[in-house]
Amino acid sequence: MKHPDNQFTIEEVERLCQLYQDCQLSILEETELEYVLMHNDFDSPLIKGTKELMTVSRLLKLKTVRPQKSVWSWAFRAAASVAIALSAFTIYHNIKFNHQNDNCIVYVAGEKVSPEKAHKLAEADVAKMQKFRQTVNELNAQEESKVEKFMNQINPSR
């Protein structure tokens, strides 16, 4: 996209408006288009419709952004992650303890499993849980990054 200070023709602006309505612009390009529309006097049904759509979109974004809710959401996610980790830790150590005393009988698909195999299955489940927790943490980090990037684009003064 051209720099917002450059002059645009009405055809270029209408093409950008059409791309906006087709959801083909990036967030940065949408922001630049909004700037161009606010600082030019182009008049066509497509441009008017795009301006109205941007206004509605901005109002919806403002209504859906609630920092208090996201703080609680992150707190619940953290609490759930801790609960999962503690549960897995407790189960792993209980199976290990029971394995040493041979007080645990484990069945897999209706068949009795030896204590050694049960211990290996438990270790595999703990490894899966740790990989799952790592994946969740990576996804949370990606989402935090996206939210921070989005908020910086909305409020560049931050």
* Residues 128-138: tens digit of each pLDDT: 999 999 999 99
| SS3 state at 101 | helix
* DSSP track, 121-137: HHHHHHHHHHHHHHHHH
What is the residue range of 48's domain?
Answer: 10-64
47 and 117 share one domain: no
* DSSP track, 31-66: HHHHHHHHT-----HHHHHHHHHHHHHHHHHHHH--
Long-range contacts of 55-64 (CB under 8 A, 24+ apart): 61/154
Strand partners, 108: 111
Residue 81: in which H helix or E strand, if any? Answer: helix 67-101
Domain limit, last residue, from 64, 87, 110: 64
Instruction: Evaluate whether residue 1 is within a structural domain.
Output: no
Domain limit, last residue, from 19, 37, 64: 64
* Residues 8-66: tens digit of each pLDDT: 788 888 888 888 888 888 888 888 888 888 888 888 888 888 888 888 877 776 665 55
